[in-house]
Structure 1
Amino acid sequence: MKFIVAVILSLGIAALVYYFNSTPSTTTNLPASTVAANDGPKAYLTASYKMNVDGRDFSLKMVYDFPNSQVCEAQLNSTDTMNMISTFKQRCSSDSVCKEADISSCSSFTDQKYKDMLDKNYHDTHYIYLSDSKLTDQRGVIVFWGLNEQESEKMCDYVKKSNRTINPINIECL
């Protein structure tokens, strides 16, 4: 039971991080003339938690897809209090099951498996696909590595049912 509660709390944090990082307020500070959707290649930002519950290790990995590195960097470096990426590591230090939190720099590279997931393609594990109809050029995936199929399905169903608290995010269990 403790394991499921820890996973649910972690998933909630992940969904909130996605929501607050996808809100337009953090990217509207950029002049439109400096950042256009076709300014350079896509950029990816990865955040992960490594956790241990009851002696069992698992990790939560989130991958965000931005239209270019300027938008990604704006999200990563934002001082906006609504930007939860800035407090991601701090949240881990206050969570008793979190062993390590890591946020990558913006990169034009991510593993092919995450690109496939961002394109909503089948993968050998269940994952959560996040999108916002207001920001069609940004999307994300959340994957729990170390959970079995049944646990992954439960987590995704839980997040989907809890979506009322983090609207307008569209959540799909794939």
Structure 2
Amino acid sequence: MSSKPGTPGGSSTSNSSLLLRRQLLELTKRPVEGFSAGLVDDNNLYEWEVLIIGEGGFLKARLTFPEDFPLQPPKMKFLTPMWHPNIYADGNLCISILHPPKDDEYGYEDAGERWLPVHTLISVISLLSSETPNLESPANVDAAKEVRTDFAGYKKKVRRLVRRSAEEAFD
């Protein structure tokens, strides 16, 4: 028996929806500074809208959780235009903690750096705020190259995008 995300069905779906409901409630009761999250649609616990506030900007993203969460990681996609070595041009975030829990076939990541069922959304948030860009296997090769060759130019481009995100937040 299969079920759609956000609807009652198999036990893994009901377990994941219970966990997601708890994590959302926890974020509501004890907000993380510079971060807010809510459901895109009240009838679907598997799609969250995220707002990251920092560096003078407002970065919007979408978190999509699989039905077998927390065994598999969520996917995160920035809706705000980003210039970062670990974010693809389409906004999809590429960081170790959001990669499936298995050995990396290319040898860049240790299995311990990848998603583990004990991770929570708080783990992802804290990693996002502290992680320096991974230049070894970048999602955005041009941004990674700019970090290496023209860091001042890279920072200027990032500041411009952040400023634009702040302006658009109030339009």
TM-score (ref. length: structure 1): 0.29
Higher relative contact order (CA 8 A, sep 6+): 1
Report which of the two has the higher share of strand: 1
TM-score (norm 2): 0.30
Whichever of the two has the greater Rg, that structure is: 2
